C-alpha cells in the first residue's frame, strides 16, 4: 500500500501481572485504510486494540513494554497526556454503549468535557457527526428522544457518531458488528469504508468474510506455546486470503482450526 504509516508498534509486549498477553508485536498500520485483526479467541486481538488508546491503563496490573507510536508521538512516553491519546484514538465497542440520555446529550457529552460550551457550536458538531454516520435524516426531529429506545444498529451508529464529535484521527472497532443482523452489519461495513477516506481504522473481527470485504490489511494472531499472543502474519488482505505465507494462517482462514 502507498498510504503512510499512522500507527506503529516495535517489539510491543503487554503483561497483566505475571501473564504475558502480547509478545514482541511489531507492525505498521497504514493511515486512511482499514486494518483487520483476526485470530482465535484469547490470542490478544482486543488487548492489542486497547494498547493504542491506552484503555489497558484502566487495569492496575497491566504493563506495556516496547514502543507504540501514532505518527511521531510516543503513546507511552512519560510526558504523553493520556486524554489527548484517547481523543485522537477513539474506540467503538462490541455492544452499543449509549448513555440513558437523549440523543443530543449522548453526542454533546464528549464536547462538553473538552471545553465546548456554546449550544450553537455543539449543535453544529452534533449535526455533522450524525450526517457522517447517515443518521441525521432519521434523528434530526427527535434529538430529545432517549438513545436507549433506538434500534441496535442506530445505537451503534450513534456510538460511532459520538466518537467522531471529538475529531479523532484513528477509530478502533472491537467486534462492533457482532450484535447486529446481516443487513445492519452490511450498512455499518459500508460506513467503515466511507470513514476510511478520512480516518485510520482498525477492526477486531471473528468474521473472515467481513475481514475480506472491508479491510485493506490483515493481521493474523495466535497463541504461542506459553499462551502469549503473537503476530504470525501481517499482509494486504487480498494477499493473505489468497496466498498466505504461513501454514498456520492458511489453516485458520480455511477453517481447519479456530
- Rounded average pLDDT over 21-37: 97
Residue 125: its H or E element: helix 119-132
Is residue 135 one of the residues assigned to a domain?
no
Is residue 49 one of the residues assigned to a domain?
yes
Q: Please write the tens of the pLDDT for every residue from 41-64.
A: 999 999 999 999 999 999 999 999
Residue that has been written with the C-alpha cell 434500534 in this structure: 151
pLDDT tier at 2 (50, 70, 90 boundaries)?
low
Is residue 242 one of the residues assigned to a domain?
yes
Q: Please write the tens of the pLDDT for every residue from 159-205.
A: 999 999 999 999 999 999 998 999 999 999 999 999 999 999 999 99
Residue 204: its H or E element: strand 200-204
Amino acid 1: pLDDT: 53
Is residue 103 one of the residues assigned to a domain?
no
Sign of CA dihedral 29, 240, 173, 194: positive
pTM summary value: 0.94
Question: Residue 253 pLDDT more than 70?
Answer: yes
DSSP-derived 3-state class of residue 168: coil
Q: Please write the tens of the pLDDT for every residue from 103-157.
A: 999 999 988 888 888 999 999 999 999 999 999 999 999 989 999 999 999 999 9
Is residue 213 one of the residues assigned to a domain?
yes
Is residue 155 one of the residues assigned to a domain?
no
Amino acid 245: pLDDT: 94
DSSP for 12-66 reads EEEEETTEEEEEEEEEEEETTSEEEEE-STTSSHHHHHHHHTTGGGGSTTEEEEE
- Rounded average pLDDT over 2-30: 95
Residues in Cβ contact with 50 at an 8 Å cutoff, skipping those fewer than 6 apart: 56, 91, 172, 174
Distance CA 143, CA 63 (A): 41
Is residue 48 one of the residues assigned to a domain?
yes
Is residue 112 one of the residues assigned to a domain?
no
Amino acid 249: pLDDT: 96
Q: For residue 208, what are the domain limits?
A: 5-97+168-253
Amino acid 256: pLDDT: 81
Radius of gyration of the chain (CA): 18
Amino acid 226: pLDDT: 85
Q: What is the edge-to-edge ordering of all strands in the sheet holding 62-70?
A: 73-74, 62-70, 5-16, 19-30, 229-236, 217-223, 34-38, 200-204, 170-174, 89-92
| Mean pLDDT value across the chain | 94
Number of domains in the chain: 1
Amino acid 51: pLDDT: 97
- Rounded average pLDDT over 230-256: 95
How does DSSP classify residue 149?
G
CATH number, domain with residue 70: 3.40.50.300
Q: Please write the tens of the pLDDT for every residue from 204-233.
A: 999 999 999 999 999 999 999 888 999 999
Q: Of 224, 187, 202, 182, which Cα lies nearest the Cα of 27?
A: 202
How does DSSP classify residue 105?
H
Distance CA 193, CA 203 (A): 12
Q: Please write the tens of the pLDDT for every residue from 68-96.
A: 999 999 999 999 999 999 999 999 999 99
Amino acid 135: pLDDT: 94
Amino acid at each position: 500500500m502507498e498510504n503512510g504509516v499512522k500507527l506503529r508498534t516495535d517489539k510491543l509486549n503487554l503483561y497483566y501481572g505475571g501473564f504475558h498477553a502480547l509478545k514482541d508485536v511489531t507492525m505498521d498500520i497504514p493511515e486512511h485504510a482499514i486494518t483487520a485483526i483476526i485470530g482465535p479467541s484469547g490470542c490478544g486481538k482486543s488487548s492489542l486494540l486497547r494498547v493504542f488508546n491506552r484503555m489497558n491503563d484502566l487495569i492496575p496490573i497491566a504493563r506495556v513494554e516496547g514502543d507504540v507510536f501514532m505518527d511521531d508521538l510516543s503513546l507511552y512516553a512519560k510526558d504523553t497526556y493520556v486524554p489527548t491519546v484517547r481523543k485522537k484514538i477513539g474506540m467503538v465497542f462490541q455492544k452499543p454503549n449509549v448513555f440513558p440520555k437523549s440523543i443530543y446529550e449522548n453526542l454533546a457529552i464528549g464536547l462538553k468535557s473538552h471545553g465546548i460550551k456554546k449550544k450553537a457550536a455543539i449543535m453544529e458538531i452534533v449535526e455533522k457527526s450524525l450526517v457522517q454516520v447517515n443518521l441525521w435524516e432519521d434523528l434530526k426531529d427527535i434529538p430529545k428522544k432517549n438513545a436507549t429506545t433506538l434500534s441496535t444498529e442506530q445505537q451503534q451508529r450513534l456510538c460511532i457518531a459520538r466518537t467522531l464529535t471529538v475529531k479523532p484521527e484513528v477509530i478502533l472497532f472491537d467486534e462492533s458488528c457482532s450484535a447486529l443482523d446481516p443487513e445492519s452489519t452490511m450498512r455499518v461495513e459500508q460506513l467503515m469504508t466511507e470513514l476510511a477516506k478520512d480516518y485510520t481504522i482498525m477492526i477486531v473481527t471473528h468474521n473472515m468474510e467481513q475481514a475480506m470485504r472491508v479491510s485493506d490489511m490483515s493481521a493474523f494472531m495466535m497463541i504461542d506455546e506459553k499462551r502469549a499472543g503473537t503476530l504470525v502474519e501481517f499482509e494486504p488482505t487480498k494477499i493473505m486470503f489468497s496466498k498466505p505465507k504461513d501454514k498456520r494462517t492458511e489453516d485458520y482462514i480455511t477453517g481447519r482450526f479456530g
